[in-house]
Structure 1
Amino acid sequence: MRPPAHRVSARAMAKWAVELLIGGAVLTGCAFALNGWAARADWAWRFPWLPWLAVAVTALSVLTIPYWRYRVHRWEISSDVVYLRIGALQRQWLLVPVSRIQTVDAQQNWLERLLRLATLRISTASHEGSSELSGLPLPTATSLAAELAHRAHALRDDAT
């Protein structure tokens, strides 16, 4: 399959990097706490390298995964289908018929609000048919949500 025509915003890389940093900080903190607890308990299994491994994995993730996701995540809307390609390690090609769309939402969390980004959520009656595309510029996400809602209403058929 050909890739969809549009990329997400380049600011999405910053969003994904911050999310990875937060997760890595929690992981590193847990590793330091576990290592300190094992030292105080005088257990035989101490892994002084474990926190530093967590730091290295976090640094490697922050430097590679956001760029990789940016290269993969794409979207396109035709007259009758929403075409998405998402995923970093497990790539997915999603084709959502516009006539099956039930709800379309543009949402922001605190980080997306800081970066002026939004996530577009497309829901169908099927759980498998529901899709999400993060990293869109806020004006693009809101206009796409309005356009898709209008198209879905115009193309509504009697299928359930």
Structure 2
Amino acid sequence: MNARLRPPRHLVDPRAIYMWTVSGLAGAVVKILFGVAVASTVAVARFGWVPVWVLDNVWWLFAAYATYALVRAVVIPQWRYRVHRWEVSDDLVYTRTGWLNMNWQLVPISRVQTVDHTRTWLERLFGLATVQIQTASHAGSSEITGLEEQLAGQIAEDIAGRAGELRDDAT
């Protein structure tokens, strides 16, 4: 028998693209503001003021970071949406994540210890949720991010119920 690893069947909710975009833009703004604050503080501490040559020559650094941030906020969420997949079968939770370094994870339901259904403030804003699956092994733990809120609740209940049944059968 020649078994092949195939991609999981389900994509995350398309609203995850917008959530990841907002998250990327917010992170970029915070990093730019933090960078300006740190650069200004260092310049004032070193020179007592911000020298004109610093202001004249640092614009390219901010332009480069702004370009990177724009790519990270616009391109990466689209790519991430196409790559992130999930599937729950009778005995397995199967996820694929990562847009550059891909992570294929198969978690046997019989090994599941806890299942959490979480919603960050940003996920709530977009009507999304995350299902976190914990096993005894850190490497075996998994999560499915970017699910529609009601679907995430159903998946969490289903996995928890099946894990309980399989554990009861094993004793």
Q: Normalising by the residue count of structure 1, what TM-score does the alignment of the two structures yield?
A: 0.91
Partner of 1:130: 141
Partner of 2:90: 79
Partner of 2:113: 102
Partner of 1:42: 51
Task: Give how far 1:48 is off.
Answer: 2.7
Is 1:52 aligned to residue 56 of structure 2?
Answer: no
Is 1:114 aligned to residue 125 of structure 2?
Answer: yes
Q: How do residues 22-33 of structure 1 correspond to structure 2 at under 5 angstroms?
A: 22-33=26-37
Is 1:17 aligned to residue 21 of structure 2?
Answer: yes
Partner of 1:68: 79
Amino acid at match of 1:56: T
- Evaluate the alpha carbon distance shift between residue 43 and residue 129 of structure 1 in structure 2; reply closer, same or farther with a 3 A threshold: farther
- Consecutive unaligned residues of structure 2, counting only runs of 5 or more, are none
Q: Kindly name which structure, 1 or 2, has the bigger radius of gyration based on alpha carbons.
A: 2
Q: Name the one with the larger helix percent.
A: 2
Amino acid at match of 1:51: F
Q: CA RMSD in A?
A: 1.8
- Which deviations, in whole Å up to 9, do the C-alpha atoms of 1:15-34 show, x marking residues without a partner? 11111111100121133334
Partner of 1:151: 162
Answer whether contact 1:8 1:74 (CA < 8 A) is retained.
yes
Within 2, Cα distance between the matches of 1:153 and 1:15?
33
Is 1:6 aligned to residue 10 of structure 2?
Answer: yes
Task: Give how far 1:43 is off.
Answer: 9.0
Within 2, Cα distance between the matches of 1:71 and 1:41?
45
Q: Secondary structure at the match of 1:62?
A: helix
Report the identity percentage. 44
- Consecutive unaligned residues of structure 1, counting only runs of 5 or more, are none
Equivalent residue pairs, number: 158
Amino acid at match of 1:62: A
- Which deviations, in whole Å up to 9, do the C-alpha atoms of 1:53-101 show, x marking residues without a partner? 2211111111100000000000111111111001122110000000000
